[in-house]
């Protein structure tokens, strides 16, 4: 089955970001005419695809609940209009404590919500770049569940960006049935250059899953932030299937989850692991596995 990752250079201008995504989906529609246009098609958008940066007030202004979010409505409408399944990057969603969740939705090709995931690990770190300090927890609230969703492409586990550094999350997704794991991201240029590819390949090898990592790239908001890019499709053996290192646009690949099961049967590392399965509850309130089915 064919999947497509969109590499973006998003900004604080929601309207401009939305227009860019729509223009890329129009281009994708023309390309699909050369493929099997009736086959299911999966699109993955990067983290913060509609709102990159922006102060807390702007995040709150666009945040909504699962029924009243204008950004969710815009992305689900695009999924329906262009008849694609969509892992819709991230958008802000209201949290109970006055902050927002960084939330990823998965829509089907009619725009209906198949599942959602709130970013578990928040990027509170110091980086040797122009921003210096990143403190996501000042605006964002961590999520409290993992999500594995049954789709025509296989069982998809959802993660977001900084989650990539936490192998226990990926192992939990594998144990919950994931065959494909998506990683919408906005890695900084400094950390991306150092760790992005090796972490993606490690998570693919460890879980024996396809890893679909759609990324932000370049300078954002008058150069106040710079992201690494290199959107990648990694196979369950750890091989790079497709990538786009720089610029914006699509990365396409054909995947077959039968390869996942073939590799797992030949090298059954999950059965050989002598350590007990990780507790699916982090130190704060991970109290459910959100396994959802069409």
Per the annotation, the verdict on 245 as an active-site residue is no
What average pLDDT values come out for the chain (294 residues) when binned by 10 residues? Answer: 97 97 97 85 98 88 85 97 98 94 98 98 96 94 96 98 97 97 98 98 98 98 94 98 98 98 97 81 51 41
String of DSSP letters for the chain: -EEEEEEB---S-HHHHHHHHHHHHHHHHHHHTTS-TTS--EEEEPTTSS--S--HHHHHHH-B-TTT-HHHHHHHHHHHHTT-EEEE--EEEE-TTSSEEEEEEEE-TTS-EEEEEE--S--EEE-SSSS-EEEGGGTB----EEEEEEETTEEEEE--GGGGG-HHHHHHHHHTT-SEEE--B--BHHHIIIIIHHHHHHHHHHHT-EEEE-BBEEEETTTTEEEE--EEEE-TTS-EEEEE-SSSEEEEEE--THHHHHHHHHS-HHHH--SPPPPSS-TTT--EEEEE--
Predicted local confidence at residue 67, as pLDDT:
78
Predicted local confidence at residue 209, as pLDDT:
98
Predicted local confidence at residue 283, as pLDDT:
55
Predicted local confidence at residue 280, as pLDDT:
60
Of 47, 179, 226, 243, which is the active-site residue? Answer: 47
Predicted local confidence at residue 278, as pLDDT:
65
Per the annotation, the verdict on 47 as an active-site residue is yes
Of 104, 141, 161, 209, which is the active-site residue? Answer: 161
Per the annotation, the verdict on 119 as an active-site residue is yes
Of 8, 48, 104, 119, which is the active-site residue? Answer: 119
């Amino acid at each position: 089955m064919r999947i497509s990752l969109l590499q973006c250079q998003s900004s604080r201008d929601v309207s401009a970001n939305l227009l860019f995504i729509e223009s890329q989906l129009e281009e994708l529609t023309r390309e699909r005419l050369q493929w099997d246009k009736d086959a299911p098609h999966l699109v993955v958008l990067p983290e913060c695809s509609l709102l990159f940066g922006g102060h807390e007030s702007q995040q709150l202004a666009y945040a909504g609940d699962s029924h009243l979010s204008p950004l969710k409505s815009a992305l689900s409408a695009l999924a329906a209009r262009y008849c694609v399944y969509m892992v819709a990057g991230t958008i802000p969603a209201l949290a109970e404590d006055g902050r927002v969740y960084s939330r990823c939705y998965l829509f089907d090709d009619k725009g209906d919500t198949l599942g959602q995931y709130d970013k578990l690990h928040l990027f509170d770190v110091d980086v040797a770049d122009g921003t210096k300090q990143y403190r996501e927890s000042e605006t964002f609230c961590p999520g409290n569940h993992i999500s594995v969703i049954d789709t025509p492409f296989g069982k998809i586990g959802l993660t977001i960006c900084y989650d990539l550094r936490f192998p226990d999350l990926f192992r939990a997704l594998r144990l919950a049935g994931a065959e494909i794991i998506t990683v919408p991201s906005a890695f900084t240029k400094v950390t991306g250059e150092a760790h992005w590819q090796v972490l993606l390949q490690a998570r693919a090898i460890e879980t024996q899953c396809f890893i679909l990592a759609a990324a932000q790239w370049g300078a954002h908001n008058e150069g106040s932030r710079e992201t690494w890019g290199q959107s990648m499709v990694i196979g369950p053996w750890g091989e790079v299937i497709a990538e786009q290192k720089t610029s914006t646009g699509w990365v396409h690949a054909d995947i077959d989850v039968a390869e996942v099961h073939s590799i797992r049967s030949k090298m059954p590392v999950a059965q050989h692991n002598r350590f007990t399965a990780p507790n699916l509850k982090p130190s704060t309130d991970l109290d459910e596995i959100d396994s959802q089915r069409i």
